[in-house]
């Protein structure tokens, strides 16, 4: 019977502890805030890792933008070279036609 009473008081204490946990969690804005308070070192590491990934993501986005700009510029140069080659081909054909007519 003594064991039973001890078990009952343990259950009651456990229940009160759970209530306190939920109240504290609600006051702190949710379980994640409570976890951050209870395990600050782990959360600091997670935050640092998230910041590192954000930095890498920003760097990759910048690289992608620069690659798109370089590709656009390369297409413009290729188009200009094609246009210039077409103009030269037309001029060469006209010159050959003029020479052929002169003969």
Main-chain phi, psi angles of 33, to 5 degrees: -65, -40
pLDDT, one tens digit per residue, over 64-80 is 999 999 999 999 999 98
Residue 29, helix vs strand vs coil: coil
Tokens found for residue 31: 């379980």
pLDDT, one tens digit per residue, over 10-63 is 555 556 666 777 776 666 655 556 666 667 787 788 889 999 999 999 999 999
pTM for the full predicted model: 0.47
Contacts of 45 (CB under 8 A, 6+ apart): none
Q: What is the DSSP letter of 30?
A: S
**CA atoms 77, 78, 79, 81: torsion sign:** positive
The angle, 0 to 180 degrees and rounded to 10, between the axes of the packed helices 31-38 and 2-27 is 110
């Amino acid at each position: 019977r003594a064991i039973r009473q001890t078990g009952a008081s343990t259950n009651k204490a456990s229940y009160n502890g759970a209530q306190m946990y939920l109240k504290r969690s609600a006051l702190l804005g949710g379980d994640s805030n409570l976890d951050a308070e209870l395990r600050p070192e782990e959360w600091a590491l997670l935050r640092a890792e998230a910041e590192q990934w954000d930095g890498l993501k920003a760097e990759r986005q910048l690289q992608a933008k620069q690659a798109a700009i370089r590709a656009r510029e390369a297409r413009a140069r290729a188009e200009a070279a094609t246009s210039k080659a077409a103009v030269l081909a037309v001029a060469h054909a006209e010159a050959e036609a003029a020479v052929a007519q002169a003969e």
